[in-house]
Every structure is written in structure tokens, then in C-alpha cells.
Amino acid sequence: MEIHLFNNTDRAPKPKGEVRIENVTITLYPDRFRVHVAVGVTPFQERPNLLLVVHDEQDRIVNELNVIETMHFDMEFTLHLRGMADPAGAYTLTVDLFYETRNPPQDQLIEAFVIPSADEVDTE
């Protein structure tokens, strides 16, 4: 007799060598100083680590988040943009997925996003 623990075999947990970042979604909060980040990874047998880093246009780090041995395939975070009076501008979010070492990461995804000026938000 076969017992199926997963209805969809594509979503069955994979060994660590097959784990990848599947998607990243960035949504701005109305205050413009926070961003909601959703990260989806391949279902896994061994828990991976993640590093999320937000850089501004001058390549300064404005937020960094370490996730050690996550238990979840789909994660959501709120990242605060720090050290600025006005957050308007272009940013990049880099997400690294790794196990023992981050150099190099097992998988990496880089997403760009723009925070509009307060005037642009008010006129929409």
C-alpha cells in the first residue's frame, strides 16, 4: 500500500542541492519607509538560511535581515528603510539562499524597486 504525504509531487520536499528561491514579491507600505517582502523557496528537507539586503542608489545598506534555518517555504517580512529623511529613490533587494557558506550562495535573486516621492504618492 502506498501512502501519499504530498498531493502534488512537484511540491514534495527536495534535498538541499535542489532548493532554490522560487519568487520574491516587494510591496511598498503607504508610509514609504517600510517594504513588505514575500519570499518563496522550494520545499526542503533540510532547513536553509536566507540573507536579505536592501541597498540604496549609492549602494549603501539600508536594511539587512538574516534568517537562520527557516522552517517555512513561504515567508513574509517587513523591512524598514533606515538612516534617511526621505526614502524616495531606487533600491535593490538581494536575497541569498545558502546552507554551510554564503560565499557563494546556493541561489541568489536580485529585485529592483522604486519608492516614489511623497508628491507622487499624494497625486495618485
Average pLDDT, the chain: 91
HSE-CB for 69 with a 13 A CA cutoff: 3
| pLDDT score at 118 | 86
Give the helix/strand (H/E) hosting 119. helix 118-123
Q: Is the confidence at residue 36, as pLDDT, over 80?
A: yes
| pLDDT score at 7 | 55
What value does the mean pLDDT take over residues 58-67?
96
Euclidean distance between CA atoms 19 and 123, whole angstroms: 43
Domains for the chain: give ranges and CATH numbers: 9-123 (2.60.40.10)
According to DSSP, the residues that pair with 98 across neighbouring strands are: 49
| pLDDT score at 37 | 98
Whether this model's pTM surpasses 0.85 = yes
Buried b (16+ CB within 10 A) or exposed e, 27-43: ebeeebbebebebbbbb
- The beta strand positions in 1-124, using DSSP E, are 21-28, 34-41, 49-55, 61-67, 74-80, 89-98, 107-115
Q: Read off the pLDDT of residues 66-93 as tens digits, 9 standing for 90 and up.
A: 999 999 999 999 999 998 899 999 999 9
